[in-house]
Structures are given as structure tokens and as C-alpha cells.
Amino acid sequence: MARKYFGTDGIRGKVGVHPITPEFLLHLGWAAGRVFASRGNSLILIGKDTRISGYMCEAVLEAGLTSAGVDVRLMGPMPTPGVAYLTRTLRADAGIVISASHNPYFDNGIKFFDRHGNKLDDEIEEAIEAELEKPMVCVHSDQLGKAQRVPDARGRYIEFCKATVDRGFSLKGLNLVLDCAHGATYDVAPGVFTELGASVEVIAAHPNGLNINDGCGSTHPEALCQRVVQSGADLGIALDGDGDRLIMVDHAGRIVDGDEILFLIAQHRASQGTLKGGVVGTVMSNLGVERALKAQNIDFHRALVGDRHVLMDLRERGWELGGESSGHLICLDLQTTGDGIVSALQALVPIVRGNRTLAECVAVIEQIPQTMVNVAVDKPAQIARHASVCAAVQKAEAKLGANGRILLRPSGTEPVVRVMVEGQDAGEIDTLVHELAEVVRNAGS
């Protein structure tokens, strides 16, 4: 069944523009409630990030769900992985996250988790879409759902994060700068690292509804880089708006991306004999990281971009560790989805126990020059297949030969085509990526 509303990561768009409107989200809440109620399920959690539109989205989803006879538990601001965790532990039938992740404040989206904290099966998403085609009919008054707050959600999630490392593990003596992106982790992330003993300087932790991801967080770590150097910190940690991504910064202010963090965690687990199978990256993963993993005799496989594809590949192979260069890292032995705080703790274990700097831990990786440009177009999938674009890619690939690769990917969450070129010569790939970007831009005009 072709999807009308659900994309690769739930339903997302600009607030006030269909489908992120009060009318549609009310209908969506009702449709989801109908589907879960028909399966004998009656409790759904709702968490959100710090966007100003979250108030509106939360209210109408609650109304839609309760009108379908489903009880609701509201958590307020809570990282996406926190919602996944609490959905499991509170024995809810599903969890909903109101967030557009790393996007600006004027976007928002709706993501669903099943009772196990996993993304919904295609069958359930299709059933919800089918209900959306029907007119809303409210249940009888004595069957309406009820809504309550979850008063201890923050504390529950903090304790979960701390429990993902050994009880004796301590961050005492570690000085770090924590960038919360003015997002959903602003109140929980500082608690986790502080309670484990670290000296924490927190930045971008004063959300006002409009500043989420604005010049901060994992998509804009420049301010973090500067602050780490200025304060003489050991390292920096940057999360994104909904807390499922992680980027780190070493003591010299150099960005350590998701590929490198993935290597750091994998190498440590392999040395401890706890790495199950190999590592799943994506087609965007840097070739230098793949080579570094293979030099450690760690198997590596590339999945399509998107945590859904990484997760699917991990489960098919029976592996536990995977992720993306963007910092969306999955440790399946600890969480069902990407979790920035949990991933940071896993990366800190070899740093602290080995008494090494972050820079020393990833020094073995020889990153291959890679440049990516996002080109805004109206129909990304169509433009990526345009004849002029395909011809330009073939010409560029011929120039690179066997020493590089090119990837054109329509985004599943934004109206852009991502143009990536990787190769040995930084000057050459910079020229090629901008030439290709211009072709894509012209094809969309």
C-alpha cells in the first residue's frame, strides 16, 4: 500500500501546512486510537520536544485519542528514546513523540512506537492511514479515554541512562561541555552526566519554543567547539532537538562525527569480547571508518540511510551496534532506538577506563575527504532521477574512477536532495560536489 502520510520517520512537515495542522492531527489521534483500541489496547503515552507548536499538537492528539476511547499519559518534554523506554516500562500499548528532530522550530512531526519501544510495523501504519480516510465518530461518553500526567518521567529516564553503564563506572575528574540544542534533553541530560560524577558546563539548555536546533546541537556544533577550547574541557557532547543523535568534540575543538563514535564503541567492545557480530553503517559512512574497522577485524556492512534501515539490517544479521555519520547511533543491547545520551556514555567508557583523550581514541581513523551539499527542491525523489542529473553523476564518477564514490539521495524528512562526493583529493571532490549541486538545482527549477 502506497503511503499517503507516513514517511521514513513518521509524519513531518511545516506547522500550519497540511498535514501538520490542528484538524489533521486531531483526526490522526482518533485514527491511531481506533486502530489500537480495535486490538484491545487502551493506553498511549505522549512525549514532545520543546517546539512552541508542541502545545497545540499535544492537545489535539490527546483529544483525538480520548475520543476514540483510549487513555493517554502525558510526559511533556522528553527525548524520543525516553518515550521509547517509558512506553516499555510503563506497559503502554504505544508511544507518540511530537518532534521534528533536528529540523528548525517551524517544523514538527509525529512519531510512533509500539509497546516494545520499536517503530510501528508497516501493517499498523497502513491501518492508521485507512482510518484517516473515514469520518471521525466519537465513542459514547462512558467509553471516552482519560488523560493524566506522568509525574516521574524525568527521573525514570535518568535512572535508565545511568544503568546502561556498570554500577562502579564514574565520570569523576572528567570536565565536559554539554550542548542540549535547546531541545528535549535540556532537563535530563545534565542530570545524567552530573550524577555520574562529571563536571558539566551546559550550553543551549534554555528553550523558549523558537530556539531549538538554532545554531546549536549536533547539526551546528560550532559553538560547542569554541566553548570546549575556551573552557579547557576534556571534550564536548552535542545532542539534537529530540535527543536521538550525538556528535562529540575533542579537547582541541575538532568535531568527532557519528562514524568515528561508532568505531570507538565498536573497537572497545571488540577488545572486551562483547561485540556481537559486526557493525552496520550506511552508504554515507566514511570509507576511512570502514577501513579502520576492518583493520580491527570487525565486520562492516552498509545499509540505506535512515535509522529504520540500520535497525532492520541489525536485526536481520543478529548484530547490536550500528549508526549513521549524523550521530544517530543504535546499541540494540541497551535501547530499541537511537539514544544520544546512552551512546555518549558508551563512548565515554573506553575514554575513562583507558585514561585516554577522545582524540587519541579515534586517531587511528584516516578519514577520506567527503563533502555533502543539501540542495532544496520541491520534488527530491523526482529530481534525483532527472536525466540531466544522472548524466552529470556518470561524468563525475568517471573522473573519480576507483578512488571515490558519489551518492545522490532525496531526503526522507526534508525537501532536499543530498549530494555527497567522497575521494582522495579534497579539492577535486569540493569542485565536483558543487558542480553536481548546481545541476540538481537547475533540474528543479
Task: Give the active site residues.
Answer: 101
Q: Which of 182, 189, 186, 188 is nearest to 219 (CA)?
A: 182
Q: Where are the beta strands (DSSP E) in 139-252?
A: 147-149, 175-179, 199-203, 235-239, 246-250
N- to C-terminal Cα separation, the chain = 31
DSSP assignment string, 240-266: -TTS--EEEEETTS-EE-HHHHHHHHH
Helix (H, G, I), strand (E, B) or coil at 178: strand
Q: Which of 302, 299, 252 is nearest to 275 (CA)?
A: 299
Output phi, psi for 405, to 5 deg.
-155, 160
Report the interhelical angle of 153-162 vs 340-353 (nearest 10°).
30
Q: Which DSSP letter does residue 185 get?
A: T
Output phi, psi for 237, to 5 deg.
-125, 125
Cβ atoms 386, 443 nearer than 8 A: yes
Helix (H) or strand (E) holding 145: none
Helix (H) or strand (E) holding 197: none
